[in-house]
Amino acid sequence: MIIQHLDGTQIDIAQHSLRRLYHHIPSLTMQHDTVTVDGRHGLIFLGSTYGERQITVELLYEAYDIYDYYLIRDEVNALFTSQQEYYIIFKNEPYKRYKVKLASDFEVPPHERMSAFEVVFTCVEIFAEAIAITTDIKAWDVDKWAWNGAITWDDNLKYSFNTNSFTVKNLGNVTIDPRQHELEMILKGTFSNSVTITNNTTGDVYIYNGALSSNDELRLKGIQTFKNGVSAFKNTNKKLITLAPKENNFTITGGTISSVVFNFRFLYK
């Protein structure tokens, strides 16, 4: 198991005399908003959201003697009790990570040789996210892609385009929503009056009201819009672009595209 801090620093728990015995990742918890109506059977569902998710990991430490145990205990206590959230990565699924914080206290039981113990994490983000972002290059020798999952080597994974119509593949199983998730679009081109970006798959329509020259850059980052680094949200229709799982068919109108780039991470339930 790997711990990755927000600055990118990675720590293999094996460096602290630890081995992962197993980990348990439960399904997402559904929370339903319901009402009842007199004379009507059952419930009326108004909406559903996902609740808290916890990951349980059983670890084994190996010590040379009881004095070595004391050192390991202190290292382990420091390793998992960061006040800042961090990512955990399981080596049997190295292409995705979970952002977590320690859920509750734990005890490393004393023994002069070895002993097992459990650590429970609460997911800060309930979905796992891809290690790679979509602009990373595919490589067999880098554990960033789920080659045996949704992605094959033969897939034409393009996230940079130079035409006004194109398809963006979201190979996770969660809709990418810029209000909650990492999503960036960088657009360059020549537009006389406005830019209209339409995701024909989801029905999302984003409009920037203004001209773009060949030297301008329009950047949609999260819920914000920037033109050449300056906020331009007030010049938009205040709508957002989301990415549904699988293929998203896009059309950009109002001018001619030079390039458009999508940066995001696949999310997994």
Give residue limits of the domains in the chain. Answer: 2-126, 134-268
This prediction's pTM: 0.89
Residue 102: strand, helix, or coil: strand
The CA-atom distances, in angstroms, between 89 and each of 16, 100, 180, 241 are: 16, 11, 21, 29
Find, among 213, 19, 250, 231, the residue nearest to 116 by Cα: 19
What is d(CA 254, CA 252) in angstroms, rounded to the nearest whole number? Answer: 7
Q: Which residue has the tokens 């914080």?
A: 101
CATH top class, domain 134-268: mainly beta
Over 70: is that where the pLDDT of 38 sits?
yes
Fold of 2-126: Elongation Factor Tu (Ef-tu); domain 3 (2.40.30)
Extended strands (E) in the chain: 2-4, 10-12, 18-24, 30-35, 44-50, 54-62, 86-89, 96-102, 114-123, 128-130, 160-161, 165-170, 183-199, 204-209, 218-221, 224-227, 230-231, 246-264, 267-268
pLDDT at 148: 47
Tens of pLDDT, residues 57-75:
999 999 999 999 999 999 9
Q: What is the mean pLDDT of residues 34-38?
A: 91
Q: 136 pLDDT band (50/70/90 cuts)?
A: confident
Tell me the pLDDT tens digit for each residue of 8-32.
Answer: 999 999 999 999 999 999 999 989 9
